[in-house]
Amino acid sequence: MVDDSAVIRKLIPTLLGQDEEIEVVATAIDGDFAINKIQQMQPDVITLDVDMPRMDGITALGVIVSKHKIPVLMLSSLTTRDAALTMKALEMGAVDFICKPRGGTGKLNEMGSELVTKIKAAARSTVIQPVSLPELPVKAKKKAPPLPTTIGSGKLIAIGASSGGPNALRYILPRIPASIGAGIVVVQHMPESFTAVMARWLDEICDIEVSEARSGDLIIPGRALVAPGNAHLRVQRTALGPAVQLERSTPVNGHMPSVDVLFRSVASEYGRHATAVILTGMGTDGAEGIGEIRKAGGHTMAQNKETCAIFGMPRAAIERGYIQQVGSLSDIANWLVVAAGKQESSEVKDGKCN
């Protein structure tokens, strides 16, 4: 456990020590001390503070991922700056992250159960090497997709993800052409403020437009709308066309936004015109919802174990018999383009990403 706060280095091991399956074998004040201890202690999981003096978490993560292949769980503050740094950490190979509660160390007990769950998931995870995307040319500012001139049945791609999801999305979405014949909606388990940062992070490398959803945003081909943290996202037919509606209520399956909430609305509103994908993540959120899409005649896909950081969510849907296609991120990128009516693009041909 790596953190520059002496109080946190004392309190978190105490919290974790209440679980008989977890042993904190060492703590470190910064990344430099941590790297020196790794060889000696050989931990199964490392928790790593994002912001530390001397050697910060981002620098230390680069060494850990490249040399030791140990799952890393980042500890972050709920700030825009730390959200950006955390996205960078996920891009570099961190398995997941957890936010320190607002209100200081007095509220650390609130994060105890989440931290235990995520540490155990990280211990069973696969350390995926950072995705190498081709160098993208400097692009002019993207134009918003044109509004449809007629209101038809349309097609929709709905994607659900949790732990490891940002990197999976970072692989898939840049391989979708702006001319794709479907709107895209995404639920990624992530706290408030982080989803906006992730949407901007994805928009910078995609031909499609990616933005954090606002209630009433129209679902338009060539646009991906990401559910904001702390709000459920549903799709709904309106007089202007299909749109997203946001609702702040109670968590479903322990999450808000919930993949099940999105998928159930997709099954109801789009039926056979929907394609749904479950990507890497722990738990079962989305499994029953994607089953409803399958029953409504929609097409269903899941990421395979070999490319998942954590295979929990895809496994749950596959084992229940709700998934028609299981494949790698490369497969899924290609299948989505085909499902939306576009047979190939400059980046996805013959099932391979170029």
285 annotated active-site: yes
d(CA 309, CA 325): 19
d(CA 311, CA 317): 10
Percent of the chain with pLDDT over 90: 71
Burial of 133 (0-12, 13-18, 19+ CB in 10 A): middle
The mean per-residue pLDDT over the stretch 139-168 comes to: 73
pLDDT of residue 51: 86
pLDDT of residue 29: 94
**Catalytic residue chosen out of the listed positions 3, 4, 189, 265:** 189
pLDDT of residue 127: 76
pLDDT of residue 69: 87
Whether pLDDT at 280 is above 60: yes
**Catalytic residue chosen out of the listed positions 273, 285, 299, 331:** 285
Count CA within 13 A, CB hemisphere, residue 49.
24
pLDDT of residue 79: 75
pLDDT-derived band at 328, boundaries 50, 70, 90: very high
Helix, strand, coil percent content, the chain, rounded in steps of 5: 40, 20, 45
**Catalytic residue chosen out of the listed positions 162, 163, 258, 345:** 162
pLDDT of residue 336: 96
pLDDT of residue 211: 97
Which of the residue ranges 86-90, 92-96, 348-352 would you say has the lowest mean pLDDT? Answer: 348-352
pLDDT of residue 145: 63
A 10 A CB-CB count for 249 gives: 9
pLDDT of residue 154: 86
pLDDT of residue 259: 98
For 27-76, how does the pLDDT look when each residue is reduced to its tens digit (9 = 90+)? 999 999 999 999 899 999 999 999 888 898 999 999 998 899 899 999 98
255 annotated active-site: no
Domains and CATH numbers, the chain: 6-123 (3.40.50.2300), 156-353 (3.40.50.180)
pTM for this prediction: 0.87
Helix (H) / strand (E) containing 3: none
d(CA 15, CA 48): 16
189 annotated active-site: yes
For 205-243, how does the pLDDT look when each residue is reduced to its tens digit (9 = 90+)? 999 999 999 999 999 999 999 999 999 999 999 998 999
Q: Could you tell me whether strands 352-353 and 348-349 are parallel, antiparallel, or unpaired per DSSP bridges? A: antiparallel
For 156-187, how does the pLDDT look when each residue is reduced to its tens digit (9 = 90+)? 999 999 999 999 999 999 999 999 999 999 99
pLDDT-derived band at 298, boundaries 50, 70, 90: very high
